[in-house]
Amino acid sequence: MTTTLPPAVVDRAALQTTLRALKLSGMLDTLDARLAQAAAGQLGHLEFLQVLCTDEITRRDATALARRLRRARFPEQATLEGFDFTANPKLPAAAIRDLAALRWLGNGESVILFGPVGVGKTHIAQALGHQAVRTGADVRFTTLSRALADLAGGHADGTWTRRLAELARPAVLVLDDFAMRELTATQADDLYELVRERAGKSMILTSNRSPVDWYPLFPNPVVAESLLDRLVNASHQIFMNGHSYRPNKRPRTAAIPPATETTR
Each domain of the chain, given as residue ranges in start order, spans 12-71, 85-249
- Say yes or no: domain 85-249 is CATH 2.40.50.140: no
Residue 203, beta-bridge partner list: 173
Alpha-carbon distance 148 to 163, whole Å? 10
Q: Dihedral through CA 14, CA 15, CA 17, CA 20, nearest 10? A: 180
> How high is the pLDDT of residue 257?
54
Global pTM reads 0.77
Q: What is the chain's pLDDT, residue by residue, as a tens digit (264 residues)?
A: 555 545 455 566 787 788 778 777 777 777 778 778 777 878 777 887 788 788 777 787 788 889 999 999 999 989 999 999 988 888 999 999 999 999 999 999 999 999 999 899 999 999 999 999 999 999 999 999 999 999 999 999 999 999 999 999 999 999 999 999 999 999 999 999 999 999 999 999 999 999 999 999 999 999 999 999 989 988 999 999 986 765 555 555 544 555 554 444
Cβ 161 vs Cβ 196: under 8 Å? no
Alpha-carbon distance 119 to 87, whole Å? 10
